[in-house]
Amino acid sequence: MATIARSKAPAAVETTIDYLLPTSRINRRFWAPGAELNTGEYKPYPVTIRNARLAPRPFTLDEHGFCIARHRTDIDFRDPEAAKAYPPQVAEVVKTLTGCDLVVPMGGQLRSPVISGPGIQPPAAEAHVDFNTSTAHKIAKGIYDKAVPGGPGFDRFIAFSLWRTFSDPPQDWPLALCDYQSVLGEDGASNVKVDVDEIPTGDALFAPIEGEEEMTAATVFYHNPAHAWWYFPDMTADEVIFIKFHDSDHSRAWRAPHTAFHDTSRPDAHVRESYEFRAIAYFSKPA
58 preceded by a cis bond (ω within 30 of 0): no
How many other C-beta atoms can be found within 10 angstroms of the C-beta atom of residue 105? 16
pLDDT 10s digits, 102-158 = 999 999 999 998 887 777 777 878 999 999 999 999 999 999 999 999 999 999 999
Kindly tell me if the per-residue pLDDT of 8 is higher than 80: no
Query: Could you tell me what percent of the chain has a pLDDT over 70?
Result: 98
Q: Domain limits of the chain?
A: 13-233+249-284
- Pairing, β 229-231 against β 42-51: parallel
Residues 220 and 126: beta-carbon distance below 8 Å = yes
Kindly tell me if the per-residue pLDDT of 3 is higher than 70: no
Kindly tell me if the per-residue pLDDT of 4 is higher than 50: no
DSSP state of 119: T
Of 219, 128, 223, nearest to 177 (Cα)?
128
* pLDDT band for position 237 (cuts 50, 70, 90): very high
Termini Cα distance of the chain:
29
Identity at 61, one-letter amino acid code = L
